[in-house]
A and B are shown apart, each in its own frame.
Chain A
Amino acid sequence: MTFDCKDLERALAVPELLPDAREHAKVCDACRRELWLWSEMSNVAPGLRQEWDTPDLWPKIRETLAAQQKAARPRSFDWRILAVAAALVMAVSVFVVMRWRPGSSAPAARQDSDFLTEQTLKEVEQSEAAYRASIDKLSRLAQPKLNASDNPETIADREKLLVLDSEISEVRSTVDRNRFNARLQTELAVLYREKQDTLKEILQRAQKY
C-alpha cells in the first residue's frame, strides 16, 4: 500500500495501519507532528489529574453516617404514625376480606394486599398533608438555627436534612405514580417522621444553648 497524508486519519483509527503511517512520517514533517501529538496527548493526560489533601472529609462523612445510624434507632412514640399504620392495617384487612368474599368484583389489577382502597387513600393523603404542614412549620423555625452555626453537629444536621429531602422527593414521585401502594405510603411516613424528629432535635438543642 502507498501511504499518503490523507490516510493518516484512517490509520489513527485502525491500529494495523499505524506501521505504514510511521514509515510515511519519516519523510513527512506534518504527519510526524500529528502522530507525535496523538500519542503525546495520552502521555500528558494523567498529569491533568487533580490531587489534594482533605483530612476533614472522611470525619465529616463518618459523623453524618453515625448521626444517621443513631437517628434510625427507635424513637419516642408518635401517635400520628400509629394512626397511619392503623389505617393501613385496616385498609389491607378490608381488602383481603373483600378479595376472598365469594362473587367479589374487585378488579384483577388490584388483587394485591399492598394496595389501599380509595377511602383509606384519601385518609392517608389528608394525614400526610397535615403532617407535611407541621413539618414545614418546624422547618421554618429551625432554619435560622441551622444557618447560624457551622459546628459539626449543625453541619451534620444540614446534610441529613438534605439527604432526607432528596429521599422524600424520590419516594413522593414514586408514590405519585402509584398512589394505592401501602408500602410506599408507609415509607414516606417514616421519612417524614425522621425529618420531624431531626428538626425537633435541632430546636431542642438550640434552646439548651
Chain B
Amino acid sequence: MAAGRVKARNDADLILASKRGDLSAFEEIYATHAGRMKSIAFHMLGDRADAEDAVQEAFLKIYRGAGAIQFDSHLAPWIYRILLNCCYDTGRKRRHQAEAPLTVEPAAQENAPLQVALRHALGRIHPQHRMVFWLFEVEGFRHSEVAAILEIPEGTSKKWLFEAKQELKRLLTESRS
C-alpha cells in the first residue's frame, strides 16, 4: 500500500504513468484519494460495504477514463465527480435511499453533543446544500474545488453553503430549545 509515501509525482505524472498501464502509479492516486472518497461515499450511501463498492467502481472507471483526461485539468474534481456518479448508481442498484441515509437515524436527544445533533440535522436539509456543506466543511475542499466537482459556479457553492448553515442553525436551535 502506498499510503504515507512521500508524494513525489504530481497528478499529471501519475495519470500519464497509469495510462501506460503502470499500476503502482495508479496505486498512488488510490492512496491519495481513497480515504476521502470512502468518507463521501459513506455519507451518501449510509453503508460501509456499499461505500467500498462505489469507491472500487469509481477507481475502475477512473483507470479506464485516464486516457481521456486533459492534463491542463485538475485530477481531483474529475475523480470525485466520477465517485458521486458511482454513488448514485450504487444507491439505485441497492435500492437504498441515496443521499439521505442520515434521516433514518434516531432523533437527536435534547442534550446531545453538537456533533450528533449536527449529523442528525444534516439529514434533514436540502440535498444540494448538504452536499456542499459536506464537501466544504467536512472534507475540507475549497469552494473552487466544490464548484468543479459539482459542476456549479463558485458563487453557487458559496450560496448553498450559506443556505445549508442557515438551515442547520435553525434546526439545531429548535432541537436545543
User: Secondary structure at chain A's binding surface: helix, strand, loop or mixed?
Assistant: helix
Q: Which residues of B contact A66 (CB under 8 A)?
A: 23
A44 touches B56 (CB 8 A): no
Q: Which residues of A contact B35 (CB under 8 A)?
A: 51
Report if B11 contacts A (CB, 8 A): no
Complex Cα gap A40–B176 (Å) = 14
Report if A207 contacts B (CB, 8 A): no
User: Secondary structure at chain B's binding surface: helix, strand, loop or mixed?
Assistant: helix
Q: Which residues of A contact B133 (CB under 8 A)?
A: 45
| Nearest CB in chain B to that of A40: its residue | B114
B162 touches A54 (CB 8 A): no
| Nearest CB in chain B to that of A58: its residue | B30
Report if A18 contacts B (CB, 8 A): no
A52 touches B38 (CB 8 A): yes
Least distance between A65 CB and chain B CB atoms (Å): 6
The size class of the interface chain B forms with chain A is 35 or more
Selected contact of A46 from candidates B57, B140, B172, CB within 8 Å:
B140
**Chain B 2-32 residues near chain A, CB threshold 8 A:** 21, 23, 26-27, 30
Interface size on A, residues (CB 8 A): 34
B115 touches A159 (CB 8 A): no
- Given A41-B137, A58-B30, A62-B23, does the pair A51, B1 have CB atoms closer than 8 Å? no
Q: Which residues of B contact A13 (CB under 8 A)?
A: 162
B56 touches A48 (CB 8 A): no
Q: Which residues of A contact B137 (CB under 8 A)?
A: 41-42, 45-46
Q: Which residues of A contact B173 (CB under 8 A)?
A: 33-34, 37
Q: Which residues of B contact A38 (CB under 8 A)?
A: 165, 169
- Given A49-B39, A52-B48, does the pair A9, B166 have CB atoms closer than 8 Å? yes
Least distance between B66 CB and chain A CB atoms (Å): 11
Q: Which residues of A contact B43 (CB under 8 A)?
A: 48, 50
B38 touches A48 (CB 8 A): no
Report if A138 contacts B (CB, 8 A): no
Least distance between B30 CB and chain A CB atoms (Å): 6
Complex Cα gap A45–B35 (Å) = 17
Report if A69 contacts B (CB, 8 A): yes
Q: Considering the complex of A and B, which 4 residue pairs feature the smallest CB-CB distances, nearest first?
A: A45-B137, A50-B42, A44-B115, A50-B39
8 A-B pairs whose Cβ atoms sit less than 8 Å apart in the complex? A33-B173, A37-B172, A57-B34, A58-B34, A65-B60, A65-B63, A68-B60, A159-B57
